[in-house]
């Protein structure tokens, strides 16, 4: 009997939330007896993948600037070609999929032109925030484009807020939507956290530092994090795990704020969980999120966590006392000090409904109901 086929598509296996969701789901579907394929457009692999998962690269060759989105532009023409190439590759080398989960906007756009069956777009962020500049400059054109992209296939959003945000832009009758939270394998995270028992190699002491995990980009809002940290006058170091285009700018800011000795830049860590597990507090300072993966990972490791009350994920994962308004540096600084002084009050129990088999079955049920 032929195993059902699951295909998970994204740009590359980089070290962010969408990629973490893909690798976690891929493992879950393998354990459920499915034949699982991860298909990427770029051969960049920062995230580990279950060896039983079949990994394929279908390069798109051309990239273009899309500052001004036009459905009939050169970009769209190129993406139609890429979609046709993916369709041909999948049918020839994989077979007819029982479920295709398409992650990240660029792939959602490309696969809008696909003729493969059982496609579900997975939205990992707040579309209105992601396209804020385009919606301001070219609202009619941008909304038309988003309707084309997200109206082509059913959409699953990783938080209730992100789903409402999408429908407010494209209209309730444009596509069928649901909310399916990101999966979190708490057992695997705890096992990974135990692989490194000594964090002294980083110059750190257990429960004696704060940590932020995320790419150095505008969305993650390291500027406010460093300003708030500087105001705390805390002796505990602030550990920053991640990489990105703004890293040098944030390093310069640390010098300007005279906290360069206390702020530790550890770069991308394939296994950040020992560092999270040993932290006194995890802080998320994003301007917007679709979900907020690192929040539930901290909960799985029983680490106190606070976050900005950004659109849209954190407020669905944390109580009000753990949240602070975006941009309120003074309140963020105060909350950081409170959480460090009374950590047990900011520990939130892990939600068992986020375990991978449960989430994997929700995608299957959504697709079956279409």
Q: Say what the pTM is.
A: 0.92
Taking residues 34-51, what's their average pLDDT? 93
- Kindly provide the residue ranges of all beta strands, DSSP E only, lying in 228-335, ordered along the sequence: 238-241, 263-267, 281-284, 305-308, 323-324
Specify the 3-state DSSP secondary structure of 36: strand
The whole-angstrom separation of Cα 125 and Cα 139 is: 19
Lowest mean pLDDT among 54-63, 260-269, 334-343: 54-63
My answer on whether 362 and 348 are in the same domain is: no
**Which pair of tokens denotes residue 288?**
């917007």
The mean predicted confidence, pLDDT, of the chain is: 93
Specify the 3-state DSSP secondary structure of 154: coil
The whole-angstrom separation of Cα 280 and Cα 211 is: 8
Closest CA to 266 of 218, 199, 332, 337: 199
The residues pairing with 5 across neighbouring beta strands, listed in sequence order, are 35
Better-scored residue on pLDDT, 60 or 110: 110
Please name the helix (run of DSSP H) or strand (run of DSSP E) that holds residue 362, with its range, or none.
helix 356-368
My answer on whether 318 and 171 are in the same domain is: no
My answer on whether 262 and 313 are in the same domain is: yes
Query: Contact at 8 Å (CB) between 291 and 330?
Result: no
My answer on whether 27 and 143 are in the same domain is: yes
The domain tally of the chain equals: 2
Residue 90 has a pLDDT of: 98
Residues 226-252 have pLDDT tens digits of 999 999 999 999 999 999 999 999 999
Closest CA to 237 of 256, 215, 263: 263
Place 63 in a pLDDT band, splitting at 50, 70 and 90: very low
Closest CA to 311 of 292, 296, 283: 292
First to last CA, the chain: 25
Query: Contact at 8 Å (CB) between 157 and 309?
Result: no
My answer on whether 287 and 172 are in the same domain is: no
- For the cut 70, the answer to whether the pLDDT of residue 67 exceeds it is no
150-174 core/surface letters (b: 16 or more CB in 10 A; e: else) = bbbbbbbbbbebbbbbbbebbeeeb
- Kindly provide the residue ranges of all beta strands, DSSP E only, lying in 105-159, ordered along the sequence: 119-123, 155-157
Residues 240-289 have pLDDT tens digits of 999 999 999 999 999 999 999 999 999 999 899 999 999 999 999 999 99
CA angle 57, 271, 39 (to 5 degrees): 15
My answer on whether 168 and 247 are in the same domain is: no
My answer on whether 212 and 177 are in the same domain is: no
The alpha carbon dihedral of 5, 8, 12, 17 has a sign of: negative
Longest pairwise C-alpha distance within the chain: 65
My answer on whether 343 and 363 are in the same domain is: no
For residue 257, count other CB atoms closer than 10 A to its CB.
15
Please state the φ and ψ torsions of residue 240, each to the nearest 5 degrees: -115, 120
- For the cut 60, the answer to whether the pLDDT of residue 71 exceeds it is no
How do 177-179 and 263-267 pair as beta strands? Answer: unpaired
Taking residues 304-311, what's their average pLDDT? 96
CATH number of domain containing 221: 3.40.50.2000
The residues pairing with 264 across neighbouring beta strands, listed in sequence order, are 239
My answer on whether 245 and 158 are in the same domain is: no
Residue 47 has a pLDDT of: 85
Residue 64 has a pLDDT of: 45
My answer on whether 304 and 248 are in the same domain is: yes
Percentage with pLDDT > 70 across the chain: 96
Closest CA to 34 of 365, 355, 360, 369: 360
Residues of the domain holding 320: 186-352
Residue 174 has a pLDDT of: 93
My answer on whether 103 and 144 are in the same domain is: yes
My answer on whether 161 and 23 are in the same domain is: yes
The whole-angstrom separation of Cα 176 and Cα 156 is: 9
334-344 core/surface letters (b: 16 or more CB in 10 A; e: else) = ebbbebbeebe
The whole-angstrom separation of Cα 57 and Cα 40 is: 5
């Amino acid at each position: 009997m032929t195993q059902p086929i699951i295909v998970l598509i994204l740009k590359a296996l980089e070290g962010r939330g969408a990629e973490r969701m893909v690798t976690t789901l891929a493992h879950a579907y393998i354990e459920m007896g499915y034949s699982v394929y991860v298909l990427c457009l770029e051969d960049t692999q920062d995230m580990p993948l279950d060896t039983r998962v079949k990994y394929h690269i279908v390069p798109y060759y051309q990239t273009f600037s899309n500052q001004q989105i036009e459905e009939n532009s050169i970009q769209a023409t190129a993406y139609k070609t890429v979609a046709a190439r993916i369709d041909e590759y999948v049918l020839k080398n994989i077979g007819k999929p029982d479920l295709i989960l398409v992650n990240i906007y660029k792939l959602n756009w490309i696969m809008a032109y696909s003729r493969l069956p059982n496609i579900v777009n997975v939205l990992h962020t707040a579309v209105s925030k992601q396209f804020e500049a385009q919606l301001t400059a070219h609202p009619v054109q941008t909304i038309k484009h988003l309707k084309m992209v997200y109206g082509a296939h059913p959409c699953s959003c990783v938080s209730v807020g992100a789903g409402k945000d999408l429908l407010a832009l494209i209209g309730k009758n444009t596509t069928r939507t649901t909310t399916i939270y990101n999966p979190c394998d708490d057992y695997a995270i705890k096992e990974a956290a135990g692989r490194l028992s000594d964090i002294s190699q980083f110059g750190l002491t257990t429960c004696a530092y704060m940590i932020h995990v995320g790419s150095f980009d505008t969305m993650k809002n390291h500027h406010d994090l460093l300003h708030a940290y500087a105001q705390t006058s805390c002796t505990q170091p602030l550990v920053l795990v991640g990489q990105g285009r703004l890293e040098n700018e944030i390093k310069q800011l640390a010098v300007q704020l005279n906290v360069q000795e206390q702020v530790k830049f550890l770069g991308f860590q394939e296994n950040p969980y020992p560092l999270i597990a040993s932290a006194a507090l995890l802080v998320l300072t994003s301007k917007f999120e679709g979900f907020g993966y690192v929040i539930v990972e901290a909960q799985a490791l029983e680490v106190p966590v606070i976050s900005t009350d950004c659109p849209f994920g954190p407020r669905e994962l944390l109580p009000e006392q753990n949240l602070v308004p975006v941009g309120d540096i003074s309140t963020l600084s105060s909350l950081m000090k409170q959480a460090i002084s009374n950590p047990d009050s900011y520990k939130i129990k892990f939600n068992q409904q986020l375990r991978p088999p449960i989430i994997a079955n929700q995608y299957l049920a959504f697709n079956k109901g279409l």
